[in-house]
Amino acid sequence: MNRQPSQDGAKSERHREIIAAAMQEFYEQGFAAARLDAIAERAGVAKGTVYLYFDSKEALFEGAVRSVILPVIEHIEILAHEPTGLASDLLKQILVTFYTQVIATDRRRLLRLLISEGPRFPNILVFYHREVVAKAVSVIRSLVSYGVQRGEFRTTAAVDFPMAIFGAAIAGAVWTILFEDIDPIDLNGLCETHLDIVLNGLKAPMAELQTPQRI
């Protein structure tokens, strides 16, 4: 009677182990050079076991992205769903989440992978744009619109170009990927400066905003 929960738990753990192994293989070897047998070896399973969960390397990449990045996206979507209170507070929480949960972690290495190999594998770019980028852009657009509607933010083109709100964060990710060993950047300081520029740039005349705090 108790075997099914145990089996389900073992399958879930095996799935997590394969995902973790796949991410390391993708990070270290790139998408093109990554091999399913190497991923299986990292995970301590037979290659055939990987196929029980994923039928291709592309499917494994998509599963890894869903496991690693989508929880962050889902978190910011929850923050922006039916918003109440200050739009600046919500936007601040989202940007801080992006810095602490993506840029300051190994998740940023996905960006390097997409930049270096995405043009050769357009399907993974399409997938990542649909599942991650488009959702993040939609969240920012809706929050900026919410801030404008309540008179907290001035009317700007940021509603049409919400990706500009992420600009400094993306720069921080790229800088860290390329120059961390040469000229490391203070991500806390960058985040604080980013918040100051964005929130004061969006602020409507006479609107009261809380001073951004260090993360």
pLDDT in tens, 10-20: 788 999 999 99
pLDDT of residue 18: 96
pLDDT of residue 8: 65
pLDDT of residue 213: 46
Whether 114 has a pLDDT exceeding 50, the answer reads yes
Whether 215 has a pLDDT exceeding 50, the answer reads no
Report if pTM > 0.95: no
pLDDT of residue 212: 45
pLDDT of residue 210: 45
Quick one: average pLDDT of 121-150? Answer: 96
Whether 33 has a pLDDT exceeding 50, the answer reads yes
Quick one: average pLDDT of 13-42? Answer: 94
Angle in degrees, 0-180, between the axes of helices 134-149 and 87-98, rounded to the nearest 10: 160
Q: Of the candidates 80, 51, 78, 76, which has an alpha carbon nearest to the alpha carbon of residue 63? A: 51
Token couple for 207 = 């609107």
The 8-class DSSP code of residue 130 comes to: I
| Band of pLDDT at residue 176, cut at 50, 70 and 90 | very high
Alpha-carbon distance of 36 to 8, in angstroms, equals 23
Whether 209 has a pLDDT exceeding 50, the answer reads no
